[in-house]
Amino acid sequence: MRYKRKVYAKIIWMITALIIVSVGGYFGVDYLWHIDSSSSSTNPESSSSNDSSSSESSSSSSESSSSESSSSSIYTGLGSQSNPLYINDTSDDNLYLYSQEMVSEYGDSTLLKYGNFEILIDGGQGNDANNVHNMLESKCTDGVLEMLIATHGHSDHVGGLNSVGLSSISDINYIIDYGYVYSSSAHSNYASRRAYYVNRGAEYHPITDVMANDGNGLPKYYITSSLSIEFLETECYTSQTPDDPNETSIAMLISYNNVKYYIAGDLTGTPEQNIVNNYRDSNLVDDDDVVIYKASHHGSTSNSSNSTRILSFLDPDYCFISAAITDPNTSSSYTQWSPQHPYSNAVTFIRNYTGNNIFWNGTMGSISICSDGNTLTSINGAGRTRNYYTGSGLLVDPASEKDANLFSTVWYQQSRLA
């Protein structure tokens, strides 16, 4: 009787299994595969499921796993497009860029402002710290700087990021910089301020960590769903003190809908070529984008900065240049004009793409560029504070050139580009 009951039980199990398979097939569900998976060690007959069922089920499982894996690899944390850093609390949807007039040789400091979200890129020379302070005090009114970026260790980029330049700033949310130690008082003063803000809660990421994309900083931060800052791979970032800090400059693209701002410190020709190679097949810049190009290295061609390679890749519509009018060129008694930035060959290269849309904070004073995300709505200067004179010793009126492109200035017309 025990044998008969065993046979009857086996027959009932097989009938039940067939019913399950039939019903599962009708509803598009492979129940037998799940039975096999869970009972193969205790039920030897379960291994007799047909091959096509098992194959289809494995394929379905593989596709599901692949889909889940792909989905889980998309970053959705703070700074992602679905979870941006900033929720606009103002009706002003314009993005403002300010290029601070420099008073010391060379020099570079740019502030981006969207609503109450501010990004400061570099701080000029130590002698420009007061000017950087004034800009921050007037534009960053809550005393909180959302992001500070120091592109490289030279004093004309970090000198003003000291206790004077940042004196109106109580807190910084994110600090991203070149990451190496550089032997200069400008770097030491900047590193001291960086440590101060980190102790107050700033999130600090060297660019090498950012580009590693291992969770220590993001290669691309979304400020809003339509406004982002992307750090570009130049293959020249380093954690070791470099022979040429210019080559290690952080390159970035700020995108506001179809308006793009390219800013890259004093970047040189080799990393420029690397950017072209790395992003050639991407949609980094589209044909219908409005591209604003900050001339690298203050409008210089040293070490192939502002090469035709990067210019042809970006195909900019506008350009702005940051460089102070140097001391010899502010005197009315000079007998020979002193060569300085911007250089004529760099301006010529850039002009091939932008036409006359090149603007210099040396002649205009601090530059303000406004965009609504579709186009540039205005480019204005505040009027320079450093004077220069005509060849006959006459003062060139700052007000007459505060909104003028470079080619409309007396500076250009008297052939003062080196």
Question: Residues 144-193: pLDDT tens digits?
Answer: 999 999 999 999 999 999 999 999 999 999 999 999 999 999 999 999 99
Concatenated DSSP letters of 221-264: EEEETTEEEEEE--S---SSPPS-GGGG--EEEEEETTEEEEE-
Tell me how far apart the alpha carbons of residues 94 and 371 are, in angstroms, rounded to a whole number: 5
Question: Residues 292-338: pLDDT tens digits?
Answer: 999 999 999 999 999 999 999 999 999 999 999 998 899 887 556 78
When pLDDT is averaged across residues 97-120 and rounded to a whole number, the result is 95
When pLDDT is averaged across residues 389-416 and rounded to a whole number, the result is 93
Question: Residues 35-71: pLDDT tens digits?
Answer: 233 333 333 333 334 444 444 444 444 444 443 333 3
Helix (H, G, I), strand (E, B) or coil at 117: strand
The full set of domain ranges for the chain reads: 2-72, 95-413
When pLDDT is averaged across residues 218-222 and rounded to a whole number, the result is 96
Tell me how far apart the alpha carbons of residues 381 and 398 are, in angstroms, rounded to a whole number: 10
Question: Residues 336-374: pLDDT tens digits?
Answer: 678 899 999 999 999 999 999 999 999 999 999 999 999
At 53, the amino acid letter reads S
- Among candidates 97, 126, 122, which has minimal Cα distance to 109? 122
When pLDDT is averaged across residues 256-281 and rounded to a whole number, the result is 97
At 199, the amino acid letter reads N
Tell me how far apart the alpha carbons of residues 250 and 122 are, in angstroms, rounded to a whole number: 11
Helix (H, G, I), strand (E, B) or coil at 358: strand
Per cent of the chain over pLDDT 90 is 72
Per-position b or e across 392-416, b if 16+ CB within 10 A of its CB: eeeebebeebbbbbbeebbbbeeeb
Q: Which pLDDT belongs to residue 331?
A: 85
Q: Which pLDDT belongs to residue 7?
A: 39
Q: Give every CB contact of residue 307 below 8 A, 6+ residues apart in sequence.
A: 269, 272, 273, 301, 349
The pLDDT of residue 206 is above 60: yes
The pLDDT of residue 279 is above 90: yes
Confidence of residue 214 (pLDDT cuts 50, 70, 90): confident
Q: Which residue has the higher pLDDT, 31 or 392?
A: 392
When pLDDT is averaged across residues 89-107 and rounded to a whole number, the result is 89
Q: Which pLDDT belongs to residue 91?
A: 67
Q: Which pLDDT belongs to residue 334?
A: 58
Q: Which pLDDT belongs to residue 292?
A: 98
Tell me how far apart the alpha carbons of residues 267 and 231 are, in angstroms, rounded to a whole number: 13
Average confidence score pLDDT of the chain = 85
Q: Which pLDDT belongs to residue 335?
A: 52
How many CB atoms lie under 10 A from the CB of residue 201?
A: 9
Phi-psi region of 158 (alpha: psi -120 to 50; beta: other; left: phi over 0): alpha
| Long-range pairs, 372-376, Cβ under 8 A, ≥24 | 372/93, 372/94, 372/95, 373/93, 373/95, 373/226, 373/227, 373/256, 373/257, 373/258, 373/259, 374/257, 374/258, 374/259, 374/290, 375/259, 375/290, 376/259, 376/290, 376/292, 376/318
Question: Residues 70-95: pLDDT tens digits?
Answer: 334 677 889 999 999 998 766 689 99
Instruction: Using alpha carbons only, give the angle 190, 322, 97 rounded to the nearest 5 degrees.
Output: 85
At 337, the amino acid letter reads W
Per CATH, the number for 95-413 is 3.60.15.10
Q: Which pLDDT belongs to residue 393?
A: 85
At 264, the amino acid letter reads A
Q: Which pLDDT belongs to residue 412?
A: 94
**% helix, strand, coil for the chain, step of 5:** 40, 20, 40
> Strand (E) positions, 61-152?
95-99, 110-114, 117-121, 144-150
Q: Give every CB contact of residue 31 below 8 A, 6+ residues apart in sequence.
A: 20, 21, 23, 24
Tell me how far apart the alpha carbons of residues 82 and 224 are, in angstroms, rounded to a whole number: 9
Tell me how far apart the alpha carbons of residues 217 and 45 are, in angstroms, rounded to a whole number: 54
Concatenated DSSP letters of 131-187: HHHHHHHHH-TTSEEEEEEE--S-HHHHTTSSTTTTTT--EEEEEEE--S--SSHHH
Tell me how far apart the alpha carbons of residues 306 and 258 are, in angstroms, rounded to a whole number: 23
